[in-house]
Structures are given as C-alpha cells and as structure tokens.
Structure 1
Amino acid sequence: MTKLMMLLNASLGGVPLPHHRNPLLRFSNKFSLLSSSKLLHRRFCTKMTTPTTTSLTQTIHLNDKERTPVEIIAAPGLSNHDFRMAIESSLFIKWLENMQCETGILTYGDMSLKRVLVQGVDMFGKRIGFIKFKADVIHDETGNQVPGIVFARGPAVAVLILLESGNETYVVLTEQVRVPVGRLILELPAGMLDDDNGDVIGTAVREVEEETGIKLKMSDMVNLTAFLEPATGGKVFPSPGGCDEELSLFMYKGEVDKEVIAALQGKETGLRDRGELIKVRVVPYDKLWRVAADMKVLLAVALYEMAKRDGLLPLK
C-alpha cells in the first residue's frame, strides 16, 4: 500500500517529512492546538475522558475538491506521538481510501465525512497495531448521522488445512486463549498482515508454520476468497459494523499418514514469548462445522464447498 507522509509542525517536535501525493486525499501541513472549551463547543456525540488544556487537530482534504475539509482531532489524553502515528499509519490511510473507492460510501455524493476523533492507539513494538476512532458521517439529505465507531486492525489471513489419511479427511485447527470472549476457541491458523507488507500468501504460509509447525509451499495454496465477485475486493468482512478487518481465506489439501495426524494432535506451538499459548487440534472434516464456532472456520467451509460444487478448485 502506498505510504502517505505528511508535513509535521515543529510543535510536535518532529522534523518535517516529504509530502507524498495521494490522489485520494491531501493532508494540510499544519497541526494546531484547540482549547478544551472549543472542543466542548463542537459537541461531539461521544464520551470523552477528563478534558486536558489542549488537543491536537489536523485538517485533510479529500479527493472531491467541493467537499469541506475534514478535521482529524485527538481525544484528550492522546499523546502527540500516538496521534501522529495513528494518522500517518497505513490503517488510517487505507480507511480513508476505502471511503472514496469505487464502492465507497463517499463516492455517490449523498454522504459527508465531517470529522474524525482519534480515541486510542495500541502499538505492536514500534508499529501501529490497532486504532480506535469515531467518524462523524452525515447523510446529506436528512442530516442524520450514521454509526461511525471504528476499531481499525487492517487485513488478515486464515488457512483451511485439509489432510487426507486413509478414507478420512481431517482439518488442522488451533486452540487459543481469546480474552475478549473469555474462552478457549478452536479456529483456523490465522494472522494479521504486517503494517507495510501486503504479501498475503506469504503471511498465510508463515502463520501456518508458526501455529502448527506445518511447512507449506505457496504454490500449493488456493485462495478461496479470490472466487468472490470482483466488486467484493476478493475479501470477506467479519464484523463491518464496527471493525475494518478484511480477511483473505486460503485452502491447502494434502495426504498424510496416520502417524502425522497423531503427532499433530495436542502439539504445543506459537510464539510463546509473545503470549501465543497455542495447541494444535485435529478434527474430522465432517464434524468441523459443529465443533468450531470460529467465524473463519465456517466462512472457509462455505467457500470451499461452493467452489467445489461449481468446479472452481484445481484438479490434483
């Protein structure tokens, strides 16, 4: 993805960076400070933390020159560094591009983006992991505001691994601790794409090896989401009402001995130094849809079965 850089005001303590021309948007080269009274006067429809004396704001210009410039504002308590990292990140820039793409909600001219409140940032080392923000999007005809709370985490990939042994087909799953739902979840091997790395299939192969110990070749992978209509972008969206995540689903099918199935069952894997406490679970394919409540599993099964029905899978 093209990286968009902005000119940073000296008030941020940063050295000005070269401006990258993005056809979809333009960032102004000024960061300004708003007093808390002015922020309150704007009457955002969101709950904020205790106000601070100042807050950062940035103005952007979208592709449509007739549109009013959009204000990007840091919520009180968000540091200068985190605010700058958020609005320069590929996560945020990709979201703006999606808003203005061929099927974007700003493309048809009946919706307007007025402002964005950046509420929080989670860092993965030195790079952005997640961004939480609220976008004020207005339906122009009625003046009504549409829901715009966004948890941005970006693209991800998952792999359906089918292993044939004897007369049985098995699926390789991972059992992982998932704190948000408070449960151990059986799911497909999966992972997020690096912030600046669009190598989807390479990420799929790497995640499979890290989470299961199985080494796959890129040439053996079948992209199930590529069978979708082009208008979908060849991706699926697990929770579009609140999250920007777009998911690519792959499939691998191979033959193994029973000893391989036994060796995989219960194997402990994952990057333990990063808190990945993973166990491999192998289940019969015909029972998969009943034992795994992971959305990625059920989506992959549906795409695989439909592609098989329509004769779209490669013959091997």
Structure 2
Amino acid sequence: MSGFTLPARLLFLACPSRALHRLHHAKLLLRCKMSSSSSSSSSLTHSITLRKQPTDPVNVAAAAGVSSSDFRNAIDSSLFKNWLRNLESENGILADGTMTLKQVIIQGVDMFGTRIGFLKFKADILDKESGHKVPGIVFARGPAVAVLILLESDDGETYAVLTEQVRVPTGKVVLELPAGMLDDDEGDFVGTAVREVEEEIGIKLKKEDMVDLTAFLDPSTGHRIFPSPGGCDEEMSVFLYRLRVEQETIRQLQGKETGLREHGEFIKVRLVPYRELWRKTADAKVLVSIGLYEMALREGLVPRH
C-alpha cells in the first residue's frame, strides 16, 4: 500500500482541506493577474513642463478606454492648452507658487467633426504646505456667447427673445437666451453671437450694433463670466442687442420653430415682456444678462432708448 497513489479527482474528495487551499491559491493568482492586466491596460503618457514649475514636470496619462488618437487630440487641443495657460496666468492657480500640478488623467473626448467639442479630465493639484489635493475634475468646453435681444414694440412693450429647447443634461425643456460655443480658435465672439442668433431665431443682427456687456467688467475678470466654475471651464461673453419693431414682427416670432434640425436642434422662439423676464426662467444666462444690463444702464454705459 505504500506505493499506492490516489488519482487527482479522488485526492480532491479524500483531502478537501488541501484541495480548497489549492483552489483558494489559484483564485488569488488569477485575481493578481487580472489586477496587473487592468492596471497596465493604458500606457499612453505624455510629459509637459510648465513655466511656473520648471523642475517638476507634469505627467499626462490616458484613462482606460481612451484611444491613442483621442489622447493625442486632447493634449493638442486648444481646450487643454488654454487651461494650462490659465493655470499660469496672473490670477492662475500656479501663479504664487503655493500649489503644484502633479498629474492629469484624460478621461473622455467627444469629437465635433474634426475638432474636440468636449474634453473631460482629472487634474491632481496639491497645496504644497498641507500636501492635500484640491478638487480637480474638469469638464472642458471652452468659450461661448449669449445674447440678450430686446425688441421694443410700437405698442410700448419691450420683449426679450428666448429659445425653448430640449436640454438633455437637465432632463427638461429649458427657456433660455440664444447662446452657443465658439466653433474655432479664432476667438470671434461677436461673429459667433450673430451666427447663433440667425440659426436659432432667424434674425440677422448687425455686428456694429452689438454691445458686449461683459466688456464693462473689471479687467481682472478677463471680461468674461464663468457660469459653473466648480466643474466647467466655460467662459462666456454676454451681448446686448436692441431693436425697434412693429407688433406684427412680435406676432410672427412668437412660437416660431427654428434651429438646425440636422444637428438635433429643435427650437421654438418665445418672446417674454422684459419686465417679467427675471421670474420666467431658471436660465442663469438670462439672470446674468439682466444684472449686467441694468447696472450698465445705471452707470450710463448703455444709453436708454
């Protein structure tokens, strides 16, 4: 009997504790292999050196699922480069040397044709004294414009022109100012505002009659507003356009269906008496434009009609 050996299957039954130990060991090995594989699934990296921290290069890496082409587009995009410039600007996070940027993880890229429309990334920025990170999740979409259009009717009423459209992120249909993103890196805010109004409302505005309300802000603001600076880089210029019209024009515009249908824009034009505007919508652009316009009137920066 000393030379007798049980088959492996019988050994499993005869020595359950030993078999379970082997099974547990095999699971651990498999788990380690899977963990190692997943941790090394993304090897796309890039190093950048910033003027404010020349001896501390920043590692830029792609999260799992980000392709090499999307990664390259992201780090070459104006959205990312502008964010880096802002970090080192006069009011930038890195300006006084108390904080440092350690790493950036590119998490998502949405292409609008051949250019990046939306970019999501996570930045590890540390306070040097405490060593603690500051919140660093960024949704980058870049510069945008909005236009407060006031139509002064011959019946004595002034109407604000709004758009009613589906806004999927809110889950609602939203009443808001005509607005849009800049389509290029040229920084043509006025041209973009005029084009957006024509696309969304069907009104052709004259560039020379556009008033940049954000231009009245203090220079330290960059003459732009940040609608949601806690999570988004969007900086916006707000314009004013006033026009005298007949009541028939008001009637024709009310409820008009517009927008670029091929781009998924299903828009209805809504005209609201200006005196009621502040309570008719939750759109922050509307409320900001009212504040800027009323303060500009009070300071004599915009003439009263």
TM-score normalised by the chain length of structure 2: 0.86
Q: Distance in 1 between matches of 2:53 and 2:251?
A: 62
Residues 19-52 of structure 1 deviation map (CA, whole Å, 9 limit, x = unaligned): xxxxxxxxxxxxxxxxxx9xx99xxxxxxxx655
C-alpha deviation, 1:77, in angstroms? 1.2
Q: Distance in 1 between matches of 2:271 and 2:260?
A: 20
SS of the aligned residue for 1:259 comes to helix
Residues 70-120 of structure 1 deviation map (CA, whole Å, 9 limit, x = unaligned): 000000111000000000000000000000001101010000000000000
CA 1:243 to 1:120, structure 2 compared with 1: closer, same or farther past 3 Å? Answer: same
Matched residues, percent identical?
Answer: 64
C-alpha deviation, 1:54, in angstroms? 3.7
1:309 paired residue number = 298
1:160 paired residue number = 148
Equivalent AA in structure 2 for residue 310 of structure 1? E
The alignment status of 1:285 with 2:274, answered yes or no, reads yes
Comparing 85-94 with 63-72, greater Cα deviation is found at 63-72
Quote the RMSD (CA, aligned, Å).
Answer: 1.5
2:214 paired residue number = 225
CA 1:231 to 1:249, structure 2 compared with 1: closer, same or farther past 3 Å? Answer: same
Q: Distance in 1 between matches of 2:200 and 2:71?
A: 33
Q: Distance in 1 between matches of 2:294 and 2:258?
A: 29
Q: Distance in 1 between matches of 2:225 and 2:42?
A: 40
SS of the aligned residue for 1:186 comes to strand
Q: Distance in 2 between matches of 1:85 and 1:144?
A: 30
- Structure 1, unaligned stretches of length 5 or more? 1-36, 42-49
Q: Distance in 2 between matches of 1:148 and 1:67?
A: 22
C-alpha deviation, 1:314, in angstroms? 4.2
TM-score normalised by the chain length of structure 1: 0.83
2:113 paired residue number = 125
The alignment status of 1:96 with 2:84, answered yes or no, reads yes
1:201 paired residue number = 190
How do residues 182-197 of structure 1 correspond to structure 2 at under 5 angstroms? 182-197=171-186
Residues 240-273 of structure 1 deviation map (CA, whole Å, 9 limit, x = unaligned): 0000000100000111000000000010101000
Equivalent AA in structure 1 for residue 84 of structure 2? L
- Which of 168, 179, 192 is the matching residue for 1:179? 168
SS of the aligned residue for 2:159 comes to strand
SS of the aligned residue for 1:68 comes to strand
Comparing 52-61 with 268-277, greater Cα deviation is found at 52-61
- Structure 2, unaligned stretches of length 5 or more? 1-31
Q: Distance in 1 between matches of 2:112 and 2:237?
A: 22
- Which of 258, 264, 271 is the matching residue for 1:269? 258
- Which of 226, 229, 233 is the matching residue for 1:237? 226
C-alpha deviation, 1:156, in angstroms? 0.2
Equivalent AA in structure 1 for residue 279 of structure 2? R
Is this contact kept in 2: 1:157–1:190, CA < 8 A?
yes
Is this contact kept in 2: 1:52–1:76, CA < 8 A?
no
Equivalent AA in structure 2 for residue 92 of structure 1? F
Is this contact kept in 1: 2:212–2:240, CA < 8 A?
yes
Equivalent AA in structure 2 for residue 184 of structure 1? V
How do residues 41-120 of structure 1 correspond to structure 2 at under 5 angstroms? 51=39, 53-64=41-52, 66-120=54-108
- Which of 275, 278, 283 is the matching residue for 1:294? 283
Equivalent AA in structure 2 for residue 188 of structure 1? L
Equivalent AA in structure 2 for residue 242 of structure 1? G
Equivalent AA in structure 2 for residue 199 of structure 1? D
Larger Cα Rg: Structure 1 or Structure 2?
2
Q: How many residues align?
A: 270
C-alpha deviation, 1:64, in angstroms? 2.8
